[in-house]
Amino acid sequence: MSPDPMHMTLREIQEKLSEKYELEVTPVNFGNKEIKLLQIKNLEEYVIKRVETDDIPTFDNPTEEVLYHLKHLPWWAKLWEPSFVLAYFLGNQPVVPGRRMLEIGAGLGFVGVYAALCGHDVTISDVEPDALLFARANALLNGLDNLEVISIDWSLPFDGMPYDVIFGSEVVYDRNTYDMLVNFLDSALKPDGTVFLAKNRDLKTPLFFMKLVERFRFKERVVRLKGSEEVIEVALYAIQKKPDSGTASR
């Protein structure tokens, strides 16, 4: 059984993770805050080593190979550009007393930690045990001792109290999860709640939106990030249930 990060100290979490990864704490200056972030040191080198040493299946389809690596390698530990866009957006939203927010597919928990530092009532979730440990460590590193970090599996029925806001970055890369994700959002979101999702616009996900619009409506906003060598377009989506949409039967 995986350890519950909520019952572990920061030192215990770091010791547990150091059995598998080389760690480093990096200060990230974002907005008007400095966030301390526990990360895998030299993540790309770690991934390359895993690819070279792990027993990887042979794929005829390049897309299947990419999805395999995304599922079995810790790319959840990378800070992707859409996370910064989503964090900035949430950090600029007014803090509403009693409004409960859930981060899904949190990875390191950067977005949720930043939103919590901005005053929001946030719960962080993921399904990967190591991601939960990193997220909880990052909450503790930033003085957020009461920030809840929980395991949520979209394939299982959601039986908790629905949230006012659900948000996630780069959570729609695997088409095999689309039905589960839409069902989860339908169950875990309040009728008048909002989902905010961010993704790289180059990632084409028409099937996800085909399934989503059966129960939800959405608006898209494109944010362009200028890097040193390229411009990255991030799509930010605001998603709400359709007025006549009840929770669909499973």
126 CB contacts (<8 Å, ≥6 apart)?
Answer: 76, 104, 105, 106, 107, 132, 135, 151, 152
Q: Give the mean pLDDT of 216-241.
A: 93
Instruction: Estimate to the nearest angstrom the gap between the alpha carbon of 115 and the chain centroid.
Output: 13
Cβ contacts of 43-47, under 8 Å, gap ≥ 24? 43/74, 43/77, 43/78, 46/21, 46/22, 46/74, 47/73, 47/74, 47/75
- For the cut 50, the answer to whether the pLDDT of residue 250 exceeds it is no
- For the cut 50, the answer to whether the pLDDT of residue 249 exceeds it is no
| Residue 217, CB-side half-sphere exposure with 13 Å CA sphere | 6
The DSSP 8-state label assigned to residue 58 in this structure reads: P
| pLDDT tens figures, 188-227 | 999 999 999 999 999 999 999 999 999 999 999 999 998 7
Model pTM? 0.90
Q: Sign (positive/negative) of CA torsion 24, 27, 28, 34?
A: positive
- For the cut 80, the answer to whether the pLDDT of residue 66 exceeds it is no
- For the cut 70, the answer to whether the pLDDT of residue 68 exceeds it is no
Partners of residue 196 on adjacent β-strands? 167, 238
| Residue 37, CB-side half-sphere exposure with 13 Å CA sphere | 23
d(CA 45, CA 53): 12
CATH placement of domain 5-42+74-241: 3.40.50.150
Q: Are 53 and 46 in contact (CB under 8 A)?
A: no
Q: What ranges do the domains of the chain cover?
A: 5-42+74-241
Among residues of the chain, what percentage have pLDDT more than 70? 88
The pLDDT of residue 3: 81
| pLDDT tens figures, 97-140 | 999 999 999 999 999 999 999 999 999 999 999 999 999 999 99
